[in-house]
């Protein structure tokens, strides 16, 4: 039986329960929200915009919670709305928790010493201010900056996902540079694997995971081999060009990875203008279709 206090085990159990590896990215760009959500909102009033954004995100969560074990709010889209946006983010996180979803905040935090400790204490675990289950972390200030996040995640039963090989076109500028006998991203991957193995749960996966993009399937397959005990968060599916066949390389025996889609799910209503259904139905269908595509690619 999995250890419910180990994030790696909790995530494994959630994916098994829903037979899904879908992670729904909440990137609520205001101009892309449904007209019915934006209608009547005074766009010069940040409180009104934040309230409408919150409503949209809550309804996305309601529409996808059956097909997706994980939701990933992108902090930037709430931060840009000011204090009202941050209050909305907190309420969105609480709603996702009530709906039984694992909340992975995409904040890409990273700093030195006591500042890293502050970030870790702020975001990780049910006892933290933000009550997130997991957080994305930037390792490029050094491996010592990861340790406060690692310690907090261990204490709180939470998880972190360390940026290893990201999905953006310019990732090679730094991540692909050769140092010693490998690349920068390989060196980060080795550190992630060591940390994951030290905190490995009964599922075989630890509380320290990695971010590896679907847009680089060869590197994804390589990273799966180099990090057998780390969960992998795979962005880049759908709108960024990654396919189900690409992301299957990130799985180990059908587990160990979650695949993020943001625009492809939350703005699915824009893809079929002829649809007679509601935007919520389009979002729900997109999440279920993605779940089925991933299952089919892995032969499940």
Quick: pLDDT tens for 8-64.
Answer: 999 999 999 999 999 999 999 999 999 999 999 999 999 999 999 999 999 999 999
Question: Is residue 16, in this structure, part of any structural domain at all?
Answer: yes
180-204 average pLDDT score: 94
Question: Is residue 2, in this structure, part of any structural domain at all?
Answer: no
Quick: pLDDT tens for 82-101.
Answer: 999 999 999 999 999 999 99
For residue 171, give the CATH number of its domain. 3.20.20.70
Confidence of residue 171 (pLDDT cuts 50, 70, 90): confident
Where residue 142 falls (left for φ over 0; alpha for ψ -120 to 50; beta otherwise) is left
Confidence of residue 274 (pLDDT cuts 50, 70, 90): very low
Give 122's DSSP letter: H
Question: Is residue 288, in this structure, part of any structural domain at all?
Answer: yes
Radius of gyration of the chain, Cα coordinates, nearest whole angstrom: 18
Transcribe 69-98 into DSSP letters: SEEEEBHHHHHTTHHHHHHHHHHHHHHHHH
Give the pLDDT of residue 300.
Answer: 54
Question: Rounded to 5 degrees, what angle do the CA atoms 144, 231, 280 make?
Answer: 120
Question: Is residue 1, in this structure, part of any structural domain at all?
Answer: no
Give the pLDDT of residue 268.
Answer: 94
Question: Is residue 153, in this structure, part of any structural domain at all?
Answer: yes
CB distance 160 to 153 below 8 Å: yes
Question: Is residue 202, in this structure, part of any structural domain at all?
Answer: yes
Give the pLDDT of residue 275.
Answer: 54
Domain count for the chain, please give it.
1
> Which backbone phi and psi does 165 adopt, to 5 degrees?
-135, 100
Distance CA 19, CA 68 (A): 9
Determine whether 165 is an active site residue: no
Question: Residue 229 is part of which domain span?
Answer: 7-297
Distance CA 188, CA 185 (A): 5
**E strand or H helix that includes residue 209:** strand 208-212
Q: Say if residue 2's pLDDT is above 70.
A: no
Catalytic pick from 18, 19, 108, 165? 108
Residue 242, helix vs strand vs coil = strand
Confidence of residue 273 (pLDDT cuts 50, 70, 90): low
Q: Going by C-beta distance under 8 Å and a sequence separation of 6 or more, which residues neighbour residue 254?
A: 298, 300
Give the pLDDT of residue 280.
Answer: 96
Residue 236, helix vs strand vs coil = coil
Distance CA 147, CA 254 (A): 29
116-127 average pLDDT score: 96
**E strand or H helix that includes residue 57:** helix 46-64
Q: Say if residue 66's pLDDT is above 90.
A: yes
* Percentage above 70 pLDDT, the chain: 96
* Percentage above 90 pLDDT, the chain: 84
> What value does the mean pLDDT of the chain take?
93
Question: Is residue 157, in this structure, part of any structural domain at all?
Answer: yes
Give the pLDDT of residue 3.
Answer: 66
Distance CA 148, CA 191 (A): 15
Question: Is residue 91, in this structure, part of any structural domain at all?
Answer: yes
Q: At what angle do helices 217-226 and 184-198 cross, to 10 degrees?
A: 40
């Amino acid at each position: 039986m999995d250890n419910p206090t180990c994030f790696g085990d909790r995530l494994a159990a959630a994916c098994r329960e829903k037979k899904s590896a879908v992670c729904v990215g909440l990137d609520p760009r205001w101009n892309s929200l449904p007209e019915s959500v934006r209608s009547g909102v005074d766009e010069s009033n940040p409180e009104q915009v934040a309230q409408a954004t919150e409503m949209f995100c809550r309804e996305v969560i309601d529409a996808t919670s059956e097909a997706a074990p994980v939701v990933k709010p992108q902090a930037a889209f709430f931060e840009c709305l000011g204090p009202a946006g941050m209050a909305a983010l907190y309420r969105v996180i609480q709603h996702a928790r009530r709906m039984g979803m694992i909340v992975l905040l995409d904040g890409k935090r990273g700093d030195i010493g006591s500042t890293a400790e502050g970030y870790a204490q702020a975001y990780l675990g049910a006892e933290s201010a933000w009550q997130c289950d997991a957080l994305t972390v930037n390792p490029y200030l050094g491996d010592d900056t990861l340790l406060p996040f690692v310690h907090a995640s261990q204490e709180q039963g939470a998880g972190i996902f360390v940026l290893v090989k990201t999905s953006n076109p310019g990732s090679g500028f730094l991540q692909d540079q050769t140092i010693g006998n490998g690349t920068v991203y390989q060196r980060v991957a080795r550190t992630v694997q060591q940390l994951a193995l030290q905190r490995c749960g009964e599922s075989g996966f630890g509380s320290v995971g990695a971010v590896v993009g679907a847009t680089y399937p060869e590197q994804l397959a390589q990273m799966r081999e180099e990090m057998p005990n780390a969960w992998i968060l795979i962005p880049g599916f759908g709108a960024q060009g990654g396919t189900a066949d690409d992301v299957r390389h990130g799985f180990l025996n059908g587990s160990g990875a979650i695949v993020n889609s943001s625009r492809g799910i939350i703005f699915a209503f824009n893809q079929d203008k002829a649809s007679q259904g509601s935007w919520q139905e389009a979002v729900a269908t997109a999440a279920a279709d993605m779940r089925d595509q991933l299952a089919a690619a892995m032969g499940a």
